[in-house]
């Protein structure tokens, strides 16, 4: 890894791994760029420049990031994929979930942490490597990633199974995270579509392309408690 120190104490990054690790650590903490910048005592543009490789943080800022994100400086520097203590919190991912996990950090036991690109169905690793999701047999995620706790444990329903349920949990397939959060939830199953309590609909014709559905097992278990 080649770093060039500048007069202001920051570094110019010669490889892409470090910047990608900064963003990965923030995503793992599940905090927005603006909120993270505020907690780290820097401006949002400054943190954005670190994550996009336009500039690198000072050593002091790197240490602050490591402490705040709960990882080691080696993890942020891309020196150790095993340095993250939260690897013990991981839950396995069913392959059918990939379309709804755009830009979500996932963990491969053989290659470490990566970001999901749901559009191309690829994984982008900190070292710059890109692999098709289908190339990896095991992937894990920090649970719960979705608002429905059981989603990471159950595969998505097949389209032919939808009519077997009165109600299903819907996860929109979109690169717009705000839209995903707004539209995900419990939907009643109708003849040609599913509909939530405020009239938002997803049609069966677009199942697998625009949305995925999951069973009611978790909700039923909660009701039994």
pLDDT of residue 217: 59
Q: What residues have CB less than 8 Å from 138, skipping those under 6 apart? A: 92, 108, 109, 110
Task: State which of 119, 142, 165 marks the end of a domain.
Answer: 142
Cα–Cα distance list, 80 to 55, 62, 88, 111, 206 (Å) = 22, 15, 16, 11, 41
Residues 155, 138 within the same domain: no
Residue 207 DSSP class? B
- Cα-Cα-Cα-Cα torsion 36, 40, 45, 51, nearest 10 degrees, comes to -70
Residue 99's closest CA among 206, 15, 182, 194? 206
d(CA 9, CA 7): 5
Range with the lowest mean pLDDT among 3-12, 18-27, 126-135?
3-12
Domain containing residue 39: 3-76
Q: Among the three residues 102, 124, 142, which one is the final residue of a domain in this structure? A: 142
CATH, residue 37: 1.10.260.40
pLDDT band at 13; cut points 50, 70, 90: very low
Q: Do 165 and 125 reside in the same domain of the chain?
A: no
DSSP codes, 158-184: PGGGGGG-SEEEEEE--S-HHHHHHH-
| pLDDT surpassing 80 at residue 129 | yes
What count of other Cβ atoms lies within 10 Å of the Cβ of residue 135? 10
155 DSSP assignment: P
pLDDT of 190 > 90? The answer is: yes
- Summarize the confidence of residues 35-61 as an average pLDDT: 86
Same domain? 161 vs 194:
yes
Q: Judge if 158 and 214 occupy the same domain.
A: yes
Q: What is the domain count for the chain?
A: 3
Both 55 and 10 in one domain: the answer is yes
Q: Are residues 47 and 25 in the same domain?
A: yes
Structure pTM? 0.42
Say if residue 158 is in the same domain as residue 114: no
How high is the pLDDT of residue 106? 82
């Amino acid at each position: 890894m080649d770093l060039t120190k500048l007069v202001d104490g920051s570094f110019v990054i010669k490889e892409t791994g470090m910047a990608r690790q900064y963003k990965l650590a923030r995503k793992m903490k599940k905090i927005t760029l603006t909120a993270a910048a505020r907690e780290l005592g820097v401006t949002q543009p400054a943190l954005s420049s670190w994550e996009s490789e336009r500039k690198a943080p000072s050593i002091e800022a790197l240490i602050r990031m490591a402490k705040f994100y709960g990882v080691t400086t080696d993890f942020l520097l891309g020196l150790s994929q095993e340095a993250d203590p939260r690897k013990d919190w991981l839950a396995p991912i069913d392959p059918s979930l990939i379309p709804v996990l755009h830009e979500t950090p996932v963990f491969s036991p053989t290659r470490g942490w990566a970001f999901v690109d749901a559009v191309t169905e690829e994984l982008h690793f900190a070292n710059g490597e890109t692999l098709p999701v289908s190339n990896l047999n095991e992937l894990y995620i920090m649970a719960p990633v979705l608002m429905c706790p059981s989603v990471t444990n159950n595969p998505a329903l097949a389209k032919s199974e939808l009519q077997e349920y009165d109600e299903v949990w819907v996860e929109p397939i979109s690169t717009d995270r705000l839209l995903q959060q707004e539209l995900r939830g419990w939907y009643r199953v109708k003849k040609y579509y599913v509909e939530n309590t405020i009239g938002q609909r997803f049609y069966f014709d677009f199942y697998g392309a625009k949305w995925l559905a999951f069973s009611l097992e978790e909700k039923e278990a909660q009701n039994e408690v």
